Amino acid sequence: MGIIRFLMQYLMNNEQLINKLADSKPIRRSAKLIVYLFSQTGKVNNVYKLKSPAEALQILKNFANNMKNELKQVRESKKKYKDTTITLTSIKKERLQKQ
């Protein structure tokens, strides 16, 4: 447990890593999602009181699922971009070979 705590403390004190994570698309999208959800429920200025531990667990599960979906979408969009780049490169090579 001490190693994990040390690593987490090191990573959390690494300003460059924190800035890079804060600028990443999944983190920004999840922050927007959270603000949107709070604004839709009208709980931005009010304190939201959980009715039970099960409700808190459900909220955390929903958040985790949303994060997984967002990360999956980002990976798929990167993959599509990569496939497009490979296709364009192969087309250029074919044109050069024909000349």
Contact 81, 87 (CB under 8 A): no
Report CA-CA distances (Å) from 64 to 3, 10, 92, 99.
Answer: 25, 24, 42, 53
- What pTM does this model have? 0.37
DSSP 24: S
Joined together, the tokens standing for residue 60 give 């955390």
pLDDT greater than 70 at residue 78: yes
The three-state (H, E, C) secondary structure of 42-62, written as one string? CCCCCCCCCCCHHHHHHHHHH
Record the tokens describing residue 32, joined without a space. 């927007």
Share of the chain above pLDDT 70, in %: 73
In this prediction, residue 22 has a pLDDT band, given cuts at 50, 70 and 90, of confident
State pLDDT tens for residues 31-72.
888 888 877 776 655 566 778 888 888 888 888 888 888 888
